[in-house]
Structure 1
Amino acid sequence: MKQAQRLQSQIQKMQEELAERTVEATSGGGMVTVVANGKQEIVSIKIDPEVVNKDDIEMLEDLIVAAVNEAKRRAQELVMNEISKLTGGLGIPPGLV
C-alpha cells in the first residue's frame, strides 16, 4: 500500500514537471512552428509571414494541422517516456497513471 501511495505521489510530481516542459514541431520546412507542453496543450503557434497567401489558405491550414498533430505526438511521447521511467517497466497502461 505504501508503494502505491509513493508511486501516486511520484506521478503527481511528474505531471507537474511535465506541465512545465515543452516540445516543438514544425511543418513546411519551418514555415509553421507549434509548441506544446507536457500536458499536451498547445502553447504557441508561429507562422512565417511568407507562407500567408490569401489565395492559398488551404495550404496554410494543412501546415497548421500537420504541425499541431506532430507537436501533440511529441508531447505524448514525452509523457510516455516519463511514465516508463517512473513505473520501471511495470506495464501499467498510460490511462491508469
Structure 2
Amino acid sequence: MSRFDQAKMLMKVKKIQSELQKQIITIEKGDGAVKVEINGEQKIKKIHIDPDYVDLEDIGELERYIEDAVKEAISQSQKIAAEKMQPMMGALGNLGL
C-alpha cells in the first residue's frame, strides 16, 4: 500500500472516530428509573436517575438497573463501532497497526 493510500485510510479512520464520538446511545432500565447515555467510543456521557422511581428500601434494585443499563449501552456502542470499522479492518492490517 502506498503512502498516499495509507494517509487516505488513516483519514477515513479518523473520520469514523469523530462520528463515533458524536453518536449517543441512550438506554433506559426500570421503566425509566435509570437512563444511561454513552457515545460510540464507549465513554459514558450521562447517567440520570429519576428519584420518583427510586425505592430507598431497595438500593440493590437501583444498582442492578444502573449495571444493566451500562452493560447494554457498552454492548450496543461496541456493536456500532465494529460495524463502522468493519470495512476498514482488512486495509488497516496492511498498515502494520
| Distance of 1:22 and 1:34 partners within structure 2 | 10
| Distance of 1:82 and 1:13 partners within structure 2 | 11
Q: TM-score, normalised by structure 1?
A: 0.81
Q: Give the match's secondary structure for 2:31.
A: coil
Q: Output the amino acid matched with 1:22.
A: I
| Distance of 2:30 and 2:92 partners within structure 1 | 37
Q: Across the two proteins, how many residue pairs are aligned to each other? A: 93
For 2:18, the equivalent position in structure 1 comes to: 16
Larger radius of gyration: 2
Shift of 1:77: 1.2
| Distance of 2:50 and 2:91 partners within structure 1 | 42
Say if 1:51 and 1:91 are closer, same or farther in 2 by CA, change over 3 A.
farther
Aligned partner of 2:30 among 28, 31, 35: 28
| Distance of 2:7 and 2:63 partners within structure 1 | 45
Shift of 1:92: 6.0
For 2:80, the equivalent position in structure 1 comes to: 78
Fraction of identical pairs, as percent: 29
RMSD: 2.2
Q: Give the match's secondary structure for 1:90.
A: helix
Aligned partner of 1:42 among 41, 44, 49: 44
Return structure 1 stretches of 4+ with deviation > 4 angstroms.
none
Shift of 1:3: 2.1
Shift of 1:55: 1.1
Match status 1:90 vs 2:90: yes
